[in-house]
A and B are shown apart, each in its own frame.
Chain A
Amino acid sequence: MRALVIDDSRAMRRIVAGLLEDLGFATTQAGDGRAALDALDRDGVYDLACIDWNMPVMDGLSFVHAVRERREWRGMTLMMVTTESEHDQIVRALAAGAHEYLIKPFTPDAVRAKLDLLGLLPREETS
C-alpha cells in the first residue's frame, strides 16, 4: 500500500512516514497541499493520505476539498493528522471529506488503531 504524508514539518513527516513504513506502507512526503496535489498528478492515487491542517501555500482542508473534486482520487482514504483539536474543526474536516482525524501528539498504537478502523492495516497487523 502507498501513503502520502503531507506536513510542513520535516520532523513530523519523518515520524509519520516511519510509523507507516513500519506497518508496511511505501511512503511519499509532501511539504504542503499544493506539493501533495502535484504528487497525486504525478504518481496517481495513493491508498492513504495523512494530512496536516496548518501549512503554507495550501492548507490541509483546502487539499481535502481539492481531492474530493477529482473523481479519479475518490478511492483515496484521507486522515487529518493535526493539532487542530476543537470539535468544530474536526466536523469541518469530516464534512469536507476526510475519513479520520488523528490529533497530535499521537502514539504508534493510536496510528495503528486508526488504520485498523479504516481497514488499511495488512492482515497480520489487524487486531
Chain B
Amino acid sequence: MSTTTPDDVLLVAQDLFAAMVDGEPGTLERWPGPPADLADPVNAWVDAGGAQGVRTVLATDRTTAVALARSLLALGPDEPVEAADIRDVLGELVNVVSGNLKGMTPGTGLLGLPVVVLGPPAVDGALLRESHLRWRGSRLVISTWNLGTRGTTR
C-alpha cells in the first residue's frame, strides 16, 4: 500500500461514503484548512500482512463517530449509541478502506480484523500517507503506516 497516493485514499473513501454511508456522492471532500488535533479522538485500524505489514488508520472525533454509527446502523435520534456501535461502524469503515487500498498493491496479504480504540492510536511504525477529509463539516483522517516486518502484530 506504500504505492497508493492521497488521491487514491480520497477516491476510495468517497466511493465508500457515497455507497454505504450517505447513499449519494459529494458528501466527502478534502479538508480545506490546515490539520489540527482531533478532540476526544476515536481511532480504528486494520493491519494487512504480507512481506511488510501495513496499518490503515481511520481517526475522527467522538461526535463524528457517533454520527457515523447512527447513520450506518439507522438509529433514530433518540436511540442511544453505544461504544459497541462505534466499534462496529468505525471498524467496518476502515476495513473497507484498507481492503480497497490493499487491492491496489497486490501481494500485500490478507487483512486482519479491525481494532477500534476510543482514544489515541497505538501505532509503532513509519507514516506513509495521511489524508485529511471533511464529511458533513467534520474531520476524518485516514493514514497508512508501515509496520516493518512485524506483520499484523501490535
Which residues of chain A are within 8 angstroms of B16 by Cβ–Cβ distance?
104-105
**Segment from A11-19, A40-48, A66-74 that makes contact with B:** A11-19
Expressed in whole angstroms, the minimum distance between the Cβ of B47 and any Cβ of chain A is: 11
Query: Is the beta-carbon distance between B73 and A85 smaller than 8 angstroms?
Result: no
Asked if A11 and B113 make an inter-chain contact with CB atoms under 8 angstroms apart, the answer reads: no
Give the distance in Å from the alpha carbon of A83 to the alpha carbon of B102 in the complex. Answer: 9
A105-B16, A107-B19 known; A54 vs B111 contact (CB < 8 Å): yes
A24 to B32 alpha-carbon distance, docked (Å): 43
Task: Tell me the dominant secondary structure on chain B's binding face.
Answer: helix
Query: Does B95 have its Cβ within 8 Å of any Cβ on chain A?
Result: yes
Contact among A54, A82, A89, A105 for B113, CB-based, below 8 A? A54
> Cβ of B95: which chain A residues have Cβ within 8 Å of it?
9, 54, 83, 104
Task: Indicate which residue in B19, B92, B111 contacts A84 across the interface (CB closer than 8 Å).
Answer: B111
Interface residues of A toward B: which range?
20 to 34
The binding surface of chain A is classed by DSSP as loop
Cβ–Cβ < 8 Å partners of B36 in chain A = none
Q: Give the residue of B85, B107, B108, B111 whose beta carbon is less than 8 angstroms from that of A83.
A: B111
Query: Do A15 and B72 touch across chains, with their CB atoms under 8 A apart?
Result: yes
Please indicate the chain A residues that have their CB under 8 angstroms from the CB of B91 in the complex. Answer: 9
Spell out B's residues near A (CB within 8 Å). Answer: 15-16, 18-20, 69, 72-74, 85, 88-89, 91-92, 95-96, 98-100, 102-103, 106-108, 110-113
18 CB < 8 A contacts A-B:
A9-B89, A9-B91, A11-B89, A83-B95, A83-B103, A84-B103, A84-B110, A85-B99, A85-B100, A86-B103, A87-B106, A89-B110, A104-B20, A104-B96, A105-B18, A105-B96, A105-B100, A106-B20
